[in-house]
Every structure is written in C-alpha cells, then in structure tokens.
Chains A and B, each alone.
Chain A
C-alpha cells in the first residue's frame, strides 16, 4: 500500500562491498570473542560476551537479512519478539533462581522448612 514499495521490495540486492564488509566485521568480532575469553573479567565475563554476540547478531540481521533496507515494521516485529523472549527468560530465571534452595541439594529435602526459612507463603 505504501508508495515506497519499489524501493523496499524483497528484491533488494546488496552490493558485494557490503557483504564482504559484514563478513569481515563478523570475523573480527569472532576474534574479539576468543580474545576476551582468554582473560578472566570476573562478573563482567558474561555481559561482555553477550555484548559481542549481540553486535554480531545485529550485523547479520541488518545486512544479511536486509533489515536495514526493509520497512521499519519488520524491525519492529523482530525487536518486539526479542523483547518478549528476554522478558520471559529474565523473569522466569529470576524466579527459579530464588527457588534454588527447594531442589537438588540432597541434604535438605524438607521443602516446607525451606519455604518457611524464606518466609514464603506455605500453602497445602
């Protein structure tokens, strides 16, 4: 319906320059990943690794998947989906992280005691 269809149709072909540039950037970032892994950054380990991986994923989406030339709605769809996945994972992991005492530590199988020690509501 939009007047921009002819510029943004699925047939967009990106130049070899872009493809090669993206490929090289991905290679460099891979080296960075490996390089960073050599140092112990303590609690920063995970954020740094995710940052680099996120940058790589964005490059793939922008150039290889043509999102850069696509209608903004497609970017919105992608970002929206990622937002919901992240939301689901963060809240769920946050919660199961708090429940970790309830399982798998062998010596305190009494769930009710554990719950009480955490001052959680006990319902049976």
Chain B
C-alpha cells in the first residue's frame, strides 16, 4: 500500500517547496491556476468583504443604540443596511465556503491534483472581483436604499442608478458562483482517484456537491431577473412595474426562486464543515454517514419548492400560501437528521475543546435556535404577525451569520495549519470563539424579543409617536441597547481572531501534517501541501475511522500507526 508518511513529504518539501514557495512574485499568484492559491485569494477577498460588511453593521447598530437620530440620518441608514445586506450575502456568505475553503480543500480531500477546470476556476475568481468592484462603484452612484432584495417597484424608480450597477454586480457574481459549482460537480464526478467511491467521500464534499447543484440550477434565475430588470429599465417593457402593466409580485417570485435556494448555498457547505469538525475533534466515527449525505441532497431538492414562504403577506394566493407553508415544514426533517447525527457522533467520543470544536458547538446551539425559529415564520397565522419584524432579522442572522459564518470560521481554524503551515495561538483562539459566541447571542437573541414586541425591521428610528407608546419605546430602547453592545462584543472577538491569525503567520509554530488526527486525504500531505498535492496517487479509505492515526510528541501532531512503530 502506497502511504505517504509525514517523513516522506517533509523530505520532498526540501526539494521542490510547497505551493506557497514553489514560485515567486505577485504575478505567480494573480494568474495562478493552482486551486490552493485561488482558494487563498478567495479567503483574503471574502474576509476583506466581511470586514466592510461588518463595519456597515456596526454603523447600523450604533444608530439604533438610542431612539431618535444618533449618528446618521434616515437616508444614510437605508444605504447602510442595503449595503450591509448586499455585501454580506453576495460577496461573503455565498462565495466564502465553496470559493475559499472549498477551493482549497475539495481537490485534496478527493485525492486529485486540481479541480477539473483550473482556468474556469481562476475566471470565477476574477468575476467575483469584477462583481465586487461594481458593487463598490454602485455606492458612489447613490440611491441604493432598497434593501438587499431590490423589491420593485421601489427599486426601479427614477434616481436609483446605483441599483442598476449593483444589479450588474450581482449578475456577474452569479456567474462566478455558477462557475465554481460547475467546476465542483465535474471534479467530484470525474476526478475521483481509483477507490474513491461515493460513500467514501468526506461529508464536506457531499455538501459541496449538493451546493453545486443548487448553484448551477438556481443562479441562472437570478441572472434572468437582473436582465428583466434591465430590460424594463432600459427598454420600458412592462414586467415588474405596474405603471407599465407589469406585476411587482412577479419580481418577488423571480427573486425568491433564486434567493431561497441561495440560503442553502450558504448553509449546506457549512453543515459539511460541521460534519468534519465534530467527527475529527471528537475522534469518533461520524454517526449515520449515509443519512447525513442524503439529507444534503434532500435539502438541495426541497430548497427549490419553498420560495413562496417569503411572500405570505404579499398578496400571494391563499392556496399557494398553504402549499408553500406545508413544504417549508418538510425542510426541518433533513436538517434535524443532521443535528441529531452530530449530537450522536459526540456521544462517548473524546471531545477536545479546540477552537474549531468550540465553533462547531456554537454552530449546534445557534443553528438549533435559528432552525426552530424558522417554524413560526413558516406557519401562516404567526407569520402575518412576525413578517418584517426583528424576529425575521434575528432568525436569518441565527442561520446565516451564526451558523454559516461561524462554521466558516471554524473551518478556517481547522484547515488554517494546512493552508498556512502555521499553528495559531490555541488559547487566544478559544477565547475568541467564546467572545464571538456570547456577543452573537447578545446581539441577536434580543432581536427575537424586539420582533415579538412589534419592532419592524429596517426602521431608522423607534421614537414614541411612530405608532407605539412611550413604554414600548422604552422597551425597544433597552433591547436595542443590549443588541448594540453585543455587536461590539462580537467585533472585539473578530478583531482578536484576526489578530492572532495574522500573528501566527509571523511567529506561529510550524504546523505538523496532521495536527488534529483527521483521516481524510488532506491530512496525508504536508502542511502546507506541495504544489501538486500528492506525489503519488493516494489510496482513499473511509475517512471517519481514526484508529490508525496516533499522537506523536516529536511531530507535535498525529502520524500513522505503522510509521510510529517503525
């Protein structure tokens, strides 16, 4: 059996260097076809966008810290939440896990040298850059105060040039996403080495595959929607604008036919990461491998059938409302299958509370709350009350931010040693994870309460006289104050995280090939991996049995049992 031992790969490193050192100069990065370098560029780009979107969020929270105008006027506020939403959705959470971590890890986990279409991969990254540039440009054009959903007819009124440009940006970002998805489908389908059967695939790859199907099937509808908007605006064809004989609700159908599946483009890869983190950091075989794998595919399928649950109060027909409500409940089944399987995986495992594991546990708590609060929003009678209140804001932040982004950051910590070849400060990592978890719940749990008390989302102000009493304003003030404080706590956590991760690049301990004892193929190659990932085609095994990896003090990491003995 051809096995790469850490010793072998180290010796190899000295000859040709790893993927970071194998060629030099800025151009060797900008025109690279190496999936690992493209992945790293995605990491940097999406984290930079995360910083930008996060600064907008802090602006929003600071404005809401007290009733009345605090730091910005209503118009600026509207722009802030629109840009926060658009940047976080289209520039951060949609591309972050597939584009950044997926790109880096997928081919290595698979045992391949690269993705199927390396040029398409680079092209997808540059489309992302163009889309991001257009989004930034649209800010200068002004008038983007529509919210990230760009609902008509408001978004097609005169004087909203910015919306056109951000629409173009979203159109192009959509292609970036399609290219990534297409690449991953073909890679998983065609580049599996001999012996890598479907049921040996790590669950992260099942999740990325299911995600890729949604990316390829749903994203074109977003493109079509943007083209129809442009056609209406430029040629005056009535599609969505009632003044021209169009139907504004039709826009919502188009928008959500993409954007609901997009929610699963965000959460599915996150669930894949959690499957890896929990299994590896508990050193315990994943419970119900096939059920987790199939539930990813089931979620991908259901995701196409529920878009109308965003439109219960839009005047959608009652029959449609009932159908969409019923199908929406069914999504809870595959999601719950996953959660129960993760919990059972931990049962009698040897849980080590490393930073990635802390993030995985945060995910479990937050996703449970986020998922369960989705149910009152799927019930027609309660949704009529909760629609467009802070309850909705809290719900989707629990799922999008608390689940997807937390999983992304957990995954980043898990693969950081592999990506950079350096270990970060574990103690600071654990502290950071706790601060983020506490800050997150302070920020968003209060928003559930705000919502049930009737605070509408997207409001700049909550003074008395806007339709509620002085006591209500006082109550809103208390909750908003706690929420804003929570967002500052979270910011401290993220800046701390950024600090020690950057610090690890400067003076972090050199990472062993397998710091956590993972058994999937990416832990077989050195940290960072060599340019071609593997010198010999690796032998894939079922990657959720950890017995053959044992801790080695000399390596400060795990080595194969056969190597340890010799």
Question: A residues near B, CB below 8 A?
Answer: 1, 80-81, 84, 87-88, 91-92, 94-96, 98-99, 102-104, 115, 119-121, 123
Contacts and interface: CB of A to CB of B under 8 A. Distances in A.
Q: Taking chain B's interface residues, is the majority helix, strand, or loop, or is none over half, making it mixed?
A: helix
A84 B249 contact: no
A103 B243 CA distance: 9
Among B250, B315, B320, residue most surrounded by chain A Cβ atoms (within 10 Å): B315
Interface string B310-325: 0011011111100000
Given A91-B320, A94-B320, A115 B308 contact: no
Contacts of A84: 217, 304
Contact of A95 (B217, B221, B253, B387): B253
Given A1-B190, A81-B217, A99-B247, A87 B315 contact: no
Contacts of B68: none
Nearest to B250: A96
Nearest to B381: A121
Contacts of A98: 317, 319-320
A102 B315 contact: yes
Interface string B174-207: 0000000000000000101000000000000000
B288 interface: no
Contacts, number: 54
Given A102-B315, A120-B315, A120-B318, A92 B192 contact: no
For chain B, the bracket of interface size reads 20 to 34
Nearest to B305: A87
Given A1-B190, A87-B304, A99 B313 contact: no
Contact of B249 (A94, A96, A119): A96
Contacts of A92: 250, 253-254, 257
Contact of A99 (B221, B317, B384): B317
B183 to A, nearest CB: 16
B159 interface: no
Nearest to A102: B315
10 contacts: A1-B190, A1-B192, A81-B217, A87-B304, A88-B221, A94-B320, A96-B249, A103-B245, A104-B242, A123-B387
Contacts of B247: 96, 99, 103
B249 A95 contact: yes
Among A94, A98, A119, A121, residue most surrounded by chain B Cβ atoms (within 10 Å): A121
Nearest to B312: A121
Given A1-B190, A96-B250, A123-B384, A103 B242 contact: yes
Contacts of B253: 88, 91-92, 95-96
Contacts of A121: 312-313, 384
| List of 7 A-B pairs having minimum Cβ-Cβ separation, nearest first | A98-B317, A123-B313, A92-B253, A95-B320, A95-B317, A88-B257, A104-B245
A80 B312 CA distance: 27
A113 to B, nearest CB: 13
Q: Taking chain A's interface residues, is the majority helix, strand, or loop, or is none over half, making it mixed?
A: helix
Interface of B: 190, 192, 217, 221, 242, 245, 247, 249-250, 253-254, 257, 304-305, 308, 312-313, 315-320, 384, 387
Given A99-B317, A120-B315, A91 B308 contact: yes
A103 B9 CA distance: 69
A96 B320 CA distance: 11
Contacts of A91: 253, 308, 320
Nearest to A88: B257
B315 A99 contact: yes
Contacts of B242: 103-104
A80 B297 CA distance: 14
A115 B315 contact: yes
B250 to A, nearest CB: 6
Contacts of A81: 217
Nearest to B193: A1
A5 to B, nearest CB: 11
A115 B250 CA distance: 17
Given A1-B192, A88-B253, 9 more contacts: A80-B217, A91-B320, A92-B253, A95-B249, A96-B247, A96-B250, A102-B315, A123-B384, A123-B387
B525 to A, nearest CB: 23
A98 B311 CA distance: 14
B16 to A, nearest CB: 29
Contacts of A102: 315
Contacts of B245: 103-104
Contacts of B257: 88, 92
A118 to B, nearest CB: 8
A32 to B, nearest CB: 31
B89 to A, nearest CB: 21
A94 B312 CA distance: 15
A102 B247 CA distance: 9
B305 A95 contact: no
A15 B305 CA distance: 42
A81 B308 CA distance: 20
Contacts of A87: 304-305
A53 to B, nearest CB: 21
A81 B216 CA distance: 10
A123 B316 CA distance: 12
Contacts of B305: 87
A108 to B, nearest CB: 13
B340 to A, nearest CB: 29
A56 B320 CA distance: 33
A91 B313 CA distance: 17
A91 B257 CA distance: 11
B219 to A, nearest CB: 12
Contacts of A96: 247, 249-250, 253
B308 A99 contact: no
A80 to B, nearest CB: 8
A93 to B, nearest CB: 9
Nearest to A104: B245
A31 B204 CA distance: 53
